[in-house]
Amino acid sequence: MKLIRKIVNKIAYRLVPNLRLLDECEDSIRAIMPVKENLQLGGEFIKINYPTQLRNVAIGNYTYIGQNANIFGTKIGKFCSIGPNLICGTGMHPTNGISTAPMFYSAENKSNGTTLCSKTKYEERSLVEIGNDVFIGANVVILNGVKIGNGAVIGAGAVVAQDVPDYAIVGGVPAKIIRYRFPDSQVNELQKIQWWNFSDDKLKMVEQYFYDTDKFISECKCQ
């Protein structure tokens, strides 16, 4: 069948020279078109820069995602800033079997076009959770099952293989904690306040006390 198709295409290209150019244009257009499957948007102020692939993803309000993101099976909170080229939740391979090729352990994943499995032997994907107000730099990889806490910062080029605590700044391969954005006392208060759930009007306080965390916490306690 493939041989017949190849012969037919060859004849068609000779009869209609511009047909090959049209095929190439379609391939180029397909490559930059966004892929969105089971995408849940949690508000009207969400920006997704294309091209990107989003499958089984939920995104909170006031979050933006940079170009060339490939995100699968992920819950993203509010007010997140996600840089370009994020790879997140794309699946794991077992390393303790004879092979790492999916055709030997997955009945559903036919990455190479086929499988020998009638029953899946290994769970390739698990939910990734990205909290609120998380900043992710460019070219970051986040592995399956990772949970990133509120207010965390992921440095550019990091490979995140383990959970990231609230308000931690991490970087490197694999990602490790560099420091925390605030002292424990302030982190605890910010976690209690959960400003990311404020009304639109009350969010003005974040702008008003942007560089004065103690004052912000104090004012929030008074209300």
pLDDT score at 30? 44
As annotated, the active-site residues are: 93
151 occurs within a structural domain: no
pTM of the model: 0.81
**b/e 78-110 (16+ beta carbons within 10 angstroms → b):** bbbebbbbbbbbbbeebeeeeeeebbebbeebe
How many structural domains comprise the chain?
Answer: 3
pLDDT score at 27? 47
pLDDT score at 56? 92
- Structure tokens of 156? 């550019």
218 occurs within a structural domain: yes
Instruction: Give the domain range for residue 223.
Output: 182-223
186 occurs within a structural domain: yes
Segments of the chain scoring below 70 in pLDDT: 1-35
pLDDT score at 211? 96
211 occurs within a structural domain: yes
57 occurs within a structural domain: no
pLDDT score at 28? 44
203 occurs within a structural domain: yes
